[in-house]
Structure 1
Amino acid sequence: MRRRSAARRSAGWLIALVLLLSGSLISPAGPAAAAPHRPATAESAAQSAAQSTAESAASAAEVRGFVDGHSHLFSYEAFGGMLMCGKPFDPDGISEALADCPDHHPNGELAWFENFTRTGSPTGTHDPAGWPTFRDWPAHDSLTHQQAYYTWVERAWKGGLRVLVNHLVANRQLCAIYPLRRNSCDEMSTLRLQAQRARELQDHIDAENGGPGRGWFRIVDDPAQARRTVKAGKLAVILGVETSEPFGCRQILGVPQCTKAQIDRGLDEMHALGVRSMFVCHKYDNALCGVRFDSGTQGAIVNLGNFLSTGTFWKARTCTGPQHDNPIEPGGVLPDQIAGWLPPGVSLPAYPPAPHCNTRGLTSLGEYMVQGLVKRGMLVEIDHMSVKAASRTLELLEAARYPGVVSSHSWADPGFFARIYALGGMITQYGHDAEHFVAEWRRGAAERQQHGVSGYGYGLDVNGMGRLPGPRAGSAANPVRYPFTSFEGVTLDRLRTGERVWDVNADGVANYGLVPDWVEDMRLLAGDQIVRDLAAGAESYLRTWEAAAARRQT
Structure 2
Amino acid sequence: MVRRLVILLAVVWIAVAAAPAASRTAQPVTGYVDTHNHLMSNEGFGGALFCGKTFHPDGIARALVDCLDHHPNGEAAWFENFTRTGSPAGTHDPVGYPTFKDWPANDSMTHQQNYYEWIERAWRGGLRIMVNDLVTNRQLCEIYPLKNRSCDEMTAIRLEAQRTYDLQNHIDSQSGGPGTGFFRIVKSPDEARQVIAAGKLAVVLGIETSEPFGCRTTLGIPHCTRAQIDRGLNEMHALGVRSMFLCHKYDNALCGVRFDSGAQGAIVNLGNLLSSGSFWRVERCTGPERDNTISPDGVLPPVLNDLLPPGVGLPVYPPAPHCNTKGLTSLGRYMLEGMISRGMMVEIDHMSVKAADQTLDLLEARGYPGVISSHSWTDPNYFRRIYQLGGMITSISHDADDFVDSWRSSKTLRDEFGKTGYGYGLDANGLHVLPAPRPGSAVTYPLPTGQDRASTGQRTWDYNVDGVAHVGLVPDWIEDMRAIAGDDFMRDMAAGAESYLQTWQAAMNRAIR
TM-score by length of 1: 0.86
**Which shifted more, 419-428 or 110-119?**
110-119
Give yes or no for contact 2:25–2:190 (8 Å, CA) kept in 1: no
CA distance in 1, matches of 2:116, 2:96: 15
Unaligned runs of 5+ in 1: 1-52
- Following superposition, the deviation at residue 538 of structure 1 comes to 0.2
**Which shifted more, 84-93 or 57-66?**
57-66
CA distance in 2, matches of 1:196, 1:228: 23
- Aligned with 1:403 (options 369, 381, 384): 369
Counterpart amino acid of residue 485 in structure 2: A
Deviations 1:515-552 (A, max 9, x none): 00000010111112211111000000001111111233
Deviations 1:189-234 (A, max 9, x none): 1000000000011001111222111111000011110111111111
The corresponding residue for 1:164 is: 130
Give yes or no for contact 2:339–2:346 (8 Å, CA) kept in 1: yes
Give yes or no for contact 2:54–2:63 (8 Å, CA) kept in 1: yes
Deviations 1:370-403 (A, max 9, x none): 1110011111101000010001001110000001
Change over 3 Å in CA distance of 1:336–1:466 after alignment to 2: closer
Secondary structure, counterpart of 1:100 in structure 2: coil
CA distance in 2, matches of 1:213, 1:552: 30
Matches within 5 A, 1:141-540: 141-329=107-295, 342-346=308-312, 348-475=314-441, 479-486=442-449, 491-540=450-499
Q: Compute the RMSD of aligned alpha carbons.
A: 1.8
Secondary structure, counterpart of 1:276 in structure 2: strand
Change over 3 Å in CA distance of 1:54–1:413 after alignment to 2: farther
Matches within 5 A, 1:88-127: 88-127=54-93
- Aligned with 1:75 (options 33, 41, 45): 41
CA distance in 2, matches of 1:270, 1:468: 29
Counterpart amino acid of residue 496 in structure 1: S
Unaligned runs of 5+ in 2: 1-18
Structure 1 ranges of 4+ moved more than 4 A:
53-56, 333-341
Give yes or no for contact 1:81–1:183 (8 Å, CA) kept in 2: yes
Change over 3 Å in CA distance of 1:164–1:60 after alignment to 2: closer
Aligned length: 493
CA distance in 1, matches of 2:274, 2:455: 44
Give yes or no for contact 1:334–1:349 (8 Å, CA) kept in 2: no
Change over 3 Å in CA distance of 1:147–1:346 after alignment to 2: same
Deviations 1:121-174 (A, max 9, x none): 212211111111111110101111101100000000000000000000010111
CA distance in 2, matches of 1:203, 1:341: 42
CA distance in 1, matches of 2:26, 2:69: 54
CA distance in 2, matches of 1:216, 1:179: 38
CA distance in 1, matches of 2:153, 2:236: 12
Change over 3 Å in CA distance of 1:128–1:349 after alignment to 2: closer
CA distance in 2, matches of 1:97, 1:293: 34
Secondary structure, counterpart of 1:485 in structure 2: coil
Change over 3 Å in CA distance of 1:403–1:58 after alignment to 2: farther
CA distance in 2, matches of 1:168, 1:438: 28
Give yes or no for contact 2:26–2:190 (8 Å, CA) kept in 1: no
Q: Give identity over the alignment, percent.
A: 66
Deviations 1:76-124 (A, max 9, x none): 0001101111001100000000011111111112112112222222122
Give yes or no for contact 1:55–1:547 (8 Å, CA) kept in 2: no
Instruction: Determine if the alignment matches structure 1 residue 546 to structure 2 residue 505.
Output: yes
CA distance in 2, matches of 1:347, 1:119: 23
The corresponding residue for 2:9 is: none
Deviations 1:338-362 (A, max 9, x none): 9776311435434333211111000
Deviations 1:402-438 (A, max 9, x none): 0100110000000001111011111110000111111
CA distance in 2, matches of 1:336, 1:242: 25
Give yes or no for contact 1:218–1:235 (8 Å, CA) kept in 2: yes
CA distance in 1, matches of 2:24, 2:438: 37
